Amino acid sequence: MNRVKNKIAPYLLVLPGAVWLLIFFAVPMVAMLSLSLQEGDIVHGYRFTGHWQTYTEAISNYDTQIIRSLIYGAIATLVLIVLAFPVAYWIAFYGGRRKPTYLFLVLLPFFVSFVLRTISWRQILTDEGPLLSPLRDMGLIGQSFHILGTPTAVILGLVYNFLPFMVLPIYVALERIDPRVVEAARDLYANPATTFRKVIFPLALPGVFAGVLMTFVPASSDYVNSEVLGSSDTTMIGQVIQAQFLENSDYPTASALSFVLMLVLLIGVFTYARILGTEDVMKVAAR
Amino acid sequence: MSTPQHSAVRSRSASGDTPAIEFVGVNKNYLSHGETVPAVKRTDLAIGQGEFFSLLGPSGCGKTTTMRMIAGFEEPTAGQVLLDGKDVTGVAANKRDVNMVFQSYALFPHLNTYQNVAFGLERKKVAKNEIGRRVGEILEIVSLTGMEKRAPREMSGGQQQRVALARALVNRPRALLLDEPLGALDLKLRQQMQIELKRIQREVGITFVYVTHDQGEALTMSDRIAVMNAGVIEQLGSPREIYERPATRFVAGFIGTSNLVDGHVERVEGGLALISYTTQDRVVVPVGPSVRTGDKLEVSIRPEKIDLHRGVPPVTATGGSVLSGTVTEVVYHGTSTNYTVSTAAGADFTVFDQNASNADDLADRGDRVYLTWAPQHSYMIGV
């Protein structure tokens, strides 16, 4: 009797989550897949016809936005690694007893709504804002220098909004490094730079890997930063999908684009995992 | 023939004269909550070439700090650290020609055995084929040949221990520092590794500095031991000296089991002081010329030096110490029996009695017994 209970207990524990995923993930996915293969309009309704040409049309119409989104996402991710690593490193190795405080500070902006924060960046980056007008008054930048509406502003917004998602996983990886392993490297004639290159960075790689996953995917499909900080020249694929759904009511195209984006990101992530050798990375992480 | 220049060269290369490691007036304080806490107090120390030297003491005694100052992970607050006669105070750890075997090994988890062992040689820019040769050689010494491709997590504790040892030894350092290296191993493996470490040390001829809190380990392996307590070296000497003639009460208690009694000197005669408790209970102890009648002495006696008699002791024993008492505890240990005896001197004595042929000679709890031992087995401490 007991043994039977022990056998089904794990499945019972998984059940609520599985039901949740089924209702809110699997069902919508199937619905969207079906929607992407339907034809019609909002007035007369949509009918399933298996019209796969929606995909080819969507790709040829919006390839610019798809590629742009991937490029913005990639640049933002690279900038994030460069910015987040020193922050995580400092907290992990020099944070002392105040580590929780510093981590809290990294997360603090998240207590304010995502959209609100992005809008306040708009105030900061505008031509008459507190950043550009003093610089222009001092003659450091010309009259025609703008940030708002440029790719720089969009990427800056992405970097700002996803910073904690890069800091936290790298921090966790660094925090788990045995300080004696670092000392062992010093003891074996490695100077601080070599110690970082040969020991600390390789051991932090699982964190970087997780951070890239947690930032590249949402940054590439983001639609708020470009909307608030960008212009028509910086339109990202997320914005297109949103507009097709909510403004044009072209559900098949919106659904098809969502699937294309998902597929592209999945292919990207798997290639990335393959190149980096996830298995090795995960093995170290599993220690 | 021997010009001054020659003799200068010779004396420098005569490595036997220069200690491998030297501490000159070394002090180390830590700052904790704004207060200065001394970890190592004014220490002078010289460790010879090729010596197996142990730093022994309880946790927090300063032994690890002392070792870390040799490695270069800590800098002394005052004083100098010398390696091979050269002042290395302030020199970074990666520029010191000593290597360390860390507690729990601290192997590089992302590198395999070969890469772990080759790490130091690669940093020193040793040629690739030379690295291959030396790694192979050292892996043979620590019996790990064939394990080159294994990752640390795929190996047992004992094997990881050997990798840690090989990783340090392959660099042929001036001295090898070992920080409680056997602490994580089970008893059987630990004893096996003790013998192996000794063998390896003889084979490579490198100075070993061994930090441990295990007195048995220190006694069996070391050429010399420094017993540390509260940041001070209480005694420095050979295992035999430290065991037979503990310099302080702390050393007597920390190394093995000691019986401690104190009392006032009744008279001094021929280098022997007599302390009487009753007309028949007395302790005789060899003393120096400075001890006078009336001085208070503390005397240490090892439990295995004491003879236990169930009746009045034989006349042959009367030249030395005699204490009468009552047996309060008997513990049978196979090769010996341990007695606890409440004595007339006021202290409880522990006595180890070998279980030789006369096994029926056992005393029982509550028995009235006499303890005797020769004068040379009384040892005056804390002078």
Helical segments of B80-171, H only: 113-123, 128-141, 157-169
Q: Which residues of chain B have a pLDDT value below 70?
A: 1-16, 313-318, 357-361, 382-383
Tokens read off for B141: 């010494």
Q: Say how far apart CA B380 and CA B383 lie, in whole Å.
A: 8
Query: Quick one: angle between helices A53-94 and A151-175, nearest 10?
Result: 50
Tokens read off for B76: 């002394």
- Give the minimum alpha-carbon distance from B116 to chain A in angstroms, rounded to a whole number: 10
Residues of chain A neighbouring B153 (CB-CB closer than 8 A): 287
Q: Say how far apart CA B12 and CA B152 lie, in whole Å.
A: 41
- In angstroms, the Cα distances linking B76 to A17, A41, B72, B374 are 58, 81, 9, 46
On whether any CB of chain B is under 8 Å from the CB of A14, the answer is no
Say yes or no for a CB contact (<8 Å) between A184 and B107: yes
Domains present along chain B, CATH in parentheses: 15-252 (3.40.50.300), 257-381 (2.40.50.100)
Tell whether A65 is covered by a domain. Answer: yes
Q: What is the DSSP string of B233-274?
A: EEEEE-HHHHHHS-SSHHHHHHSS--EEEEEE--EEETTEEE
Decide: pTM greater than 0.80: no
pLDDT digits 0-9 by tens, A139-189: 888 888 888 989 999 999 999 999 999 999 999 999 999 999 999 999 999
Q: What is the DSSP string of B275-321?
A: EESSSS-EEEEE--TT--TT-EEEEEE-GGG-EEESSSPPGGGTTSE
Residues of chain B neighbouring A199 (CB-CB closer than 8 A): 108, 110
Q: Which residue of A has its CA nearest to B100?
A: A187
Say yes or no for a CB contact (<8 Å) between B106 and A184: yes
Q: Say how far apart CA B309 and CA A19 lie, in whole Å.
A: 82
Q: Are B89 and B80 in contact (CB under 8 A)?
A: yes
Tell whether A40 is covered by a domain. Answer: no
The B-side interface with A (CB below 8 A) comprises: 71-73, 92-95, 98-100, 102-104, 106-110, 119-120, 123-124, 151, 153, 167-168, 171
Residues of chain A neighbouring B95 (CB-CB closer than 8 A): 189
Q: Which residue of A has its CA nearest to B120?
A: A188
- CA neighbor of A221 nearest in space, from A188, A190, A175, A254: A254
Tell whether A268 is covered by a domain. Answer: yes
Tell whether A16 is covered by a domain. Answer: no
- The SS3 of residue B16 is coil
Contacts of A218 (CB under 8 A, 6+ apart): A162, A165
Say yes or no for a CB contact (<8 Å) between B119 and A284: no
pLDDT at B318: 58
Give the mutation candidate from B96, B110, B135 for the A interface (greatest A CB count, under 10 A): B110
Residues of chain B neighbouring A196 (CB-CB closer than 8 A): none
Expressed as residue numbers, the domain containing A257 is 55-285
Residues of chain B neighbouring A197 (CB-CB closer than 8 A): none
The ipTM assigned to this model is 0.79
Give the mutation candidate from A176, A188, A203 for the B interface (greatest B CB count, under 10 A): A188
Q: Give the closest of A180, A189, A203 to B106, CB-based.
A: A180
Q: How many CB atoms lie within 10 A of CB B264?
A: 12
Tell whether A11 is covered by a domain. Answer: no
Q: Give the closest of A178, A190, A203 to B123, CB-based.
A: A190
A7-33 average pLDDT score: 90
Tell whether A31 is covered by a domain. Answer: no
Residues of chain A neighbouring B107 (CB-CB closer than 8 A): 181, 184
Cα–Cα–Cα angle for B311, B312, B316, nearest 5°?
Answer: 120
For residues B196-221, one letter each, b for 16 or more C-beta atoms within 10 angstroms of the residue's C-beta and e for the rest, the string is bbeebbeeeebbbbbbbbbbebbbeb
State the count of interchain CB pairs (< 8 A) between A and B: 67
On whether any CB of chain B is under 8 Å from the CB of A277, the answer is no
Tokens read off for A214: 């947690």
- Give the minimum alpha-carbon distance from A10 to chain B in angstroms, rounded to a whole number: 29
Q: Are A72 and A151 in contact (CB under 8 A)?
A: yes
Residues of chain A neighbouring B106 (CB-CB closer than 8 A): 178, 180-181, 183-184
Residues of chain B neighbouring A285 (CB-CB closer than 8 A): none
- CA neighbor of A51 nearest in space, from A256, A263, A239: A256
- The SS3 of residue B259 is strand
pLDDT at B360: 57
- Give the minimum alpha-carbon distance from B340 to chain A in angstroms, rounded to a whole number: 45
Q: Which residues numbered 190-209 in A keep a CB inside 8 Å of some CB on B?
A: 190-191, 194, 198-199, 202-203
Q: Say how far apart CA A220 and CA A235 lie, in whole Å.
A: 12
On whether any CB of chain B is under 8 Å from the CB of A178, the answer is yes
- CA neighbor of A278 nearest in space, from A175, A216, A205: A205
Q: Say how far apart CA B359 and CA B84 lie, in whole Å.
A: 56
Say yes or no for a CB contact (<8 Å) between A181 and B109: yes
Q: What share of chain B is helix, strand, coil (3-state, %, to 5)?
A: 30, 35, 35
- Give the minimum alpha-carbon distance from B351 to chain A in angstroms, rounded to a whole number: 44
Element housing B68 (H / E):
helix B63-71
Tell whether A141 is covered by a domain. Answer: yes
Tell whether A188 is covered by a domain. Answer: yes
pLDDT at A279: 55
Q: Give the closest of B71, B106, B124 to A189, CB-based.
A: B124
Name the average pLDDT for chain A: 89
Give Cα B31 distance to the centre of its chain: 28
pLDDT digits 0-9 by tens, A177-208: 999 999 999 999 999 999 999 999 999 988 99
Say yes or no for a CB contact (<8 Å) between A185 and B119: yes
| CA neighbours closer than 13 Å in the CB half-sphere of residue A229 | 29
Q: For chain A, state the CA radius of gyration.
A: 23
Q: Which stretches does DSSP call E strand in chain A? A: 38-41, 45-48
Give Cα A203 distance to the centre of its chain: 22
Say yes or no for a CB contact (<8 Å) between A191 and B92: yes
Place of tokens 């007599």: B274
Residues of chain B neighbouring A194 (CB-CB closer than 8 A): 123
- CA neighbor of B179 nearest in space, from B229, B105, B236: B105
pLDDT digits 0-9 by tens, B215-241: 989 998 999 999 999 999 999 999 999
Beta strands B321-332 and B368-373 are antiparallel
Q: Which residue of A has its CA nearest to B117?
A: A188
Domain count, chain A: 1
Say yes or no for a CB contact (<8 Å) between A187 and B109: no
Residues of chain B neighbouring A203 (CB-CB closer than 8 A): 109-110
- CA neighbor of A88 nearest in space, from A16, A171, A146: A171
Number of residues in chain B: 383
Give the mutation candidate from A97, A180, A181, A189 for the B interface (greatest B CB count, under 10 A): A189
End-to-end CA distance of chain B: 51
Say yes or no for a CB contact (<8 Å) between A180 and B103: yes
| pLDDT higher than threshold 80 for residue A60 | yes
Q: Give the closest of B104, B107, B109 to A284, CB-based.
A: B109
pLDDT digits 0-9 by tens, A129-138: 888 888 888 8
pLDDT at A75: 96
Q: What is the CATH number of the domain that holds A60?
A: 1.10.3720.10
- CA neighbor of B24 nearest in space, from B62, B76, B99, B73: B76
- CA neighbor of A54 nearest in space, from A193, A263, A261, A255: A255
Residues of chain A neighbouring B103 (CB-CB closer than 8 A): 180
Q: Are B261 and B347 in contact (CB under 8 A)?
A: yes
Q: What are phi and psi of B321, to 5 degrees?
A: -85, 145
Say yes or no for a CB contact (<8 Å) between B100 and A202: no
Say yes or no for a CB contact (<8 Å) between A188 and B120: yes
Tokens read off for B224: 């010399």
